[in-house]
Structure formats: C-alpha cells, structure tokens
Structure 1
Amino acid sequence: MLSSVGLTSLYVAAARAYETEYRQRLFVDTYARSFAGDTGFALFSDLRSFSPGLSANDPHPGISIRTRFFDDALLMAVHELSLKQVVLVASGMDARAFRLPWMDGVQLFEVDRQEIFQYKEPILLNLNARAKCIRKVVVTDLEQNWATALTDVGFDRHKPAAFLFEGLMFYLKPATVATVLETLQSLACPGSWLGMDFVEAELLNSPYAQPFLSKLRKLGCPWLFGVSNPEQFILQYGWQPRQPKIVVLGEAEANYGRWTFPVSSTTSSVFNHYLVSARRMNF
C-alpha cells in the first residue's frame, strides 16, 4: 500500500500515459499506464477539476511539458558533459531508464523509498522491461542518510553526475529541502548537472490556489515549499544556472505549443513554476 505522497507518483504516471496516447504527444512512455493503474487514473480524474478547459482524457499540460523539458535537458547535459552517472531523486514511477536513448556505460540510480520499489519492480518484471542503461535501485528516504545509500550501490562522488529532482521540492518541508541540498553538495563534484523545479513561494498563501492546495492537504500530500528567486536560491548551494537556465513553465523554451494559459501576470492569480538547469560551481 502506497503512502499519500507515493500515490502522487501514480497521478504523474496517469498524466504521462494520457500524453503517450495523445495525437500530438511530446514523449512516449509505454510503462506509464501500467504504473498508474486504476488508482492513478482515479486520482488524476479527481484533480482534473482544478484544470479548467481540459476534457477528461486530455494530458496535463504542465506535467507533459515538464517531463519533455527534463528529458531534453537531461540528455543534453549527459551528452555534452559526457556524464556516466545519472541520479533520479525521488524517482517514483519514472521510466527514463527504459525509454531514453542513453550512451553506453551510463549508470542510472533511482532513489526512492522501499514502498515505491515494492510497487514498481513487479510491474517492470511483468512487462519484461529492459533498461537502456545500467539501472541501479537505491532504497532510502531523503530524511535519512541517502548519500551513503547511494554510494553503497556504486555511485562515485568523485566523478561528475547528472541529478534530477522532478516534481519533488514543493512536497518537502523547508528544513528538509535545506538538508537535501546540503547532502547534494557532498555528492556533486564540480562539473555535475542539476535539474529541478520549484513553484513560486507566493502561490502557497494565495487565495486563488487554496481550493487546489486544500485538496492536496486532504489527500495527505500538501505543498509545503516554494521560492521567490530560484537563481539566488540555488546559488547559495553552489549551483550556477546554465542554458536553458531557469525557465518559467509556458515560456518559449518550455511550451512546445501546448501551454495555453498566461505565463506571468501582474495579477495575484498567476504564479510561476520554475524549471531549473544548472551546473555545479568550482570552489
């Protein structure tokens, strides 16, 4: 049985399944429908009321764009920088190990709690899934010593790596965010790459967002963290934004012709969702 936060990974899987089956799809994830199951699709339907203007089986534009953006950014970073280590933190139902064209020799570490892999691995086995990289499962909790868990299965902290934190940070308490990023500092040597997304801090207290945020609280997976200046925030942990730098969801670099909502506004009803691509600074 998955926890409330674990269930959000099924919601994301449902969104990726709908995108895969869309006529103008941005990516293909043939594992997503099996991962989502009835529970994921029910949760997706339950939260659909907070996405006006979309029909029942339409993909979620934000999740679809975010997935495609990080697909492209991650592969670009790995190929440009010749990175052979990729770490998906809080990987959930991510299928990038199986669906992206990795270079030979890439080790991909999926980091998440035991409940996730107890749910995920039997599905992969049943689908006869074959990873396109050297896939390693890292069973740990981010509030525990996840750095040791990662190195114990072969991660080399003396070699640069690509780290992806997708759809995670807003679920964490501010103190946990700080601890996670401090741990990341100990793992990421210069030359490493970071992908991460944040919501704007002001969203968490906005009356416009309260119906959605209240629903998440009732489901047991509240949003707890946001940032007002993502560039300044990541700089304090040793990360320098790089091309495409920090992009707001819906801008030209993160649109793909699918974002139909305002990108930014002077009104308090529109808030930024930041997509971050950064490099580890030299010290």
Structure 2
Amino acid sequence: MCAVFEQWDITSSVGLTALGVASARAVETDRADPLVSDPYAAAFVRAADSPRPLPARLEDTSVAGDGWFRHSRYLGVRSRFFDEYFAASTAAGIHQVVLLAAGLDTRAYRLDWPDGCELYEVDQPKVLAFKRTVLDEQAASARCRRHEVATDLRDDWESALLGAGFDPRRPTAWLAEGLLPYLPGRAEEGLFEVIHRLSAAGSRLAVERASIDRLATLRDHPLFREAFEEFGADVSQLWNAEPRRDCADWLRSAGWTAAAESAQQAGQRYGLPMDDPFDEVMGTATLLTATREHG
C-alpha cells in the first residue's frame, strides 16, 4: 500500500522552489552574457499565481531585489555545469536520462539529445501538469522521447519509473539537482540505494551537494534573508539538517568513482568570479559527478 504524503503544486511547499529556480533561469537567460539559455523559464513565471510576483527578466530584479540578481548567477553556474554533464554523458553513449525532482527543468526541450534518447522526469503530478500546460501553450517540442513519471520520491518511485518504461539494463545519466537539502538523512541514502540498484555499468550520476554548515550559513545570511522576503516564502524551513553520510563516500563505497568541483571553481572556469561575500557562500556548494564502472 502506498503511503499518504503531503502533495504540492507549483506555488506551494517544495513546488514553489521550482518556480523560484525557473525565475532565476529566466533572469540569467536575459543577461547579455548568459551562462544558460532557457526560452521557456519566463513563461512559467508569468503563468504561475505565486505569493509574490517573481522576476521574469533581468530588469525585474531592480524591483525584486539584489538577492534575486545574485542568486540567478549561482543558478546559472549550476545549470551550465549540469548541461555540460549531460553533453558529456550522451557523447559517451548514454541514451537514457532520469531527472529526479524534475520541477520546471526544460532540458528535454532546450538541449540537443542523440536520436533514440529516452528522458524520464520524476516529480509530483501537479508540478508536471503545470509544466505540461505551459509548454503546450508555448508550442514547445521535446528533442528526445520524454516520459513523465508522476510520483513522490518519498513513495515507491522505483516501481513508477520501471512502469514508465525505464530499462535498468541500459546505462543511465541521473540528475539530482537542488534535491538533497530537502531530504532527511535516511531518505537521501535510500535514494542513492535505488539509483545504484537501477544503474547498469557505465551509468553516471550528478548531484548538487550542500553541507549542513553551509545550509545554516545561508539560512542566516542577510542577503539570503532578503531573498526569502522577496520570494514571499522562507524555503529554508523546508531544508533538512539531519546528519548524514557524505554522498561521495557512499558512492565510492558502492563502487562508483566520484569527482567534485565547487560552484565557485566552476564559475571561474566560466569566466564568472564569485568573489563577493554572498557569492562566496553560494559558491561553496559542491557539484559532484560519479560513474559506475562495473555492474
């Protein structure tokens, strides 16, 4: 029997954070020197009835506040890093992709995918329904075979993914972007256990990792508090500060090779120094990639 969990749409609970990320991508896309281009992000922002109007253009940040301006740069770095991860994964011959807690991710529509690529988006039913409606209104066309897996990651998402056609015999490129801070420690480990179980040799995984100390610093940082006020919700209340094993250590113990780069280091590679006090805190986030060499 399935457990009964709180459900959310795009303007409540964790769903609202997906809308905030889309807003940041819209702002980043509108820059003269964008690190990522998402032609659909602004449409999500405009279509949602959020607690407060969120910026959909760079000029909107003058009203929304400095927090949004700075946060969009960090999310530009993060998005660019994972875009490159998928480019490298498909170039290595991986044609099966899973986005965990996909939110308003539009990579199925904005990235180039090889012929025959299967992409699975796992998230809450209402979040996926909102995304589908907006993208249909934009006449967007996926560049791969996109599958919606409408389920809760706290439930039996493994069965839901398999039921949607996922093939565990094929190497997979997994992504957990902006997900781990919301999971209890045991749930995070359970997530990796399922990923490991479903990953054939050659599979890859990318995650954004934040330490408990970093989350505490962000929660108390004046500019981050300002961003919460601009957002109309304190999403830090959704973060889970339970102690947990470092996911890189977990993956290595399970036979994966893992490499990590800080967001600050990635920003420097992209020609974007993250050197003011707020950026330095944001830049401590770890962007981790891992490969399962053997089955």
TM-score by length of 2: 0.81
* Unpaired stretches in structure 2, ≥5 consecutive residues: 1-8
The Cα of 1:250 is off from its aligned counterpart by 1.0
Aligned to 2:257: 240
Paired residue type of 1:276: L
Contact 1:249–1:275 (Cα < 8 Å) also in 2: yes
Tell me the SS of whatever aligns to 2:286.
strand
Tell me the SS of whatever aligns to 2:264.
coil
Aligned to 1:222: 238
Q: Structure 1, residues 56-109: CA drift from partner, whole Å, max 9, x if none?
A: 6566121000000100111111212x1110111110000000000111110111
Aligned to 2:130: 119
The question of 1:17 aligning with 2:26 is answered: yes
Alignment of 1:9-88 (within 5 A): 9-37=18-46, 39=50, 42=53, 54=66, 60-80=72-92, 82-88=93-99
Tell me the SS of whatever aligns to 1:149.
helix
The Cα of 1:234 is off from its aligned counterpart by 2.8
Alignment of 1:198-277 (within 5 A): 198-206=209-217, 209-211=219-221, 212=224, 215=228, 218-219=234-235, 221-225=237-241, 229-241=246-258, 245-252=259-266, 255-261=269-275, 272-277=284-289
Paired residue type of 2:285: H
Aligned to 2:171: 160
Structure having the larger proportion of residues in helix: 2
Contact 2:122–2:148 (Cα < 8 Å) also in 1: yes
Please provide the CA RMSD for this pair. Answer: 3.1
The Cα of 1:184 is off from its aligned counterpart by 1.1
Length, aligned pairs only = 270
Q: Structure 1, residues 130-161: CA drift from partner, whole Å, max 9, x if none?
A: 11001111111111111111111111001111
CA distance in 1, matches of 2:208, 2:198: 19
The Cα of 1:281 is off from its aligned counterpart by 3.8
CA distance in 2, matches of 1:228, 1:271: 21
Tell me the SS of whatever aligns to 1:197.
strand
TM-score by length of 1: 0.84
Greater Cα offset, 230-239 or 121-130: 230-239
Aligned to 1:150: 161
* Unpaired stretches in structure 1, ≥5 consecutive residues: none
Paired residue type of 2:272: R
Paired residue type of 1:234: L
Contact 1:14–1:36 (Cα < 8 Å) also in 2: yes
Paired residue type of 1:15: A
CA distance in 2, matches of 1:260, 1:162: 28
Aligned to 1:280: 292
Greater Cα offset, 56-65 or 143-152: 56-65
- CA gap of 1:18–1:136, structure 2 versus 1, over 3 A, is same
Tell me the SS of whatever aligns to 2:16.
helix
Q: Structure 1, residues 199-218: CA drift from partner, whole Å, max 9, x if none?
A: 12322344x74254895984
The Cα of 1:256 is off from its aligned counterpart by 1.1
The Cα of 1:240 is off from its aligned counterpart by 1.3
Aligned to 2:102: 91
Aligned to 2:5: none
CA distance in 1, matches of 2:126, 2:90: 29
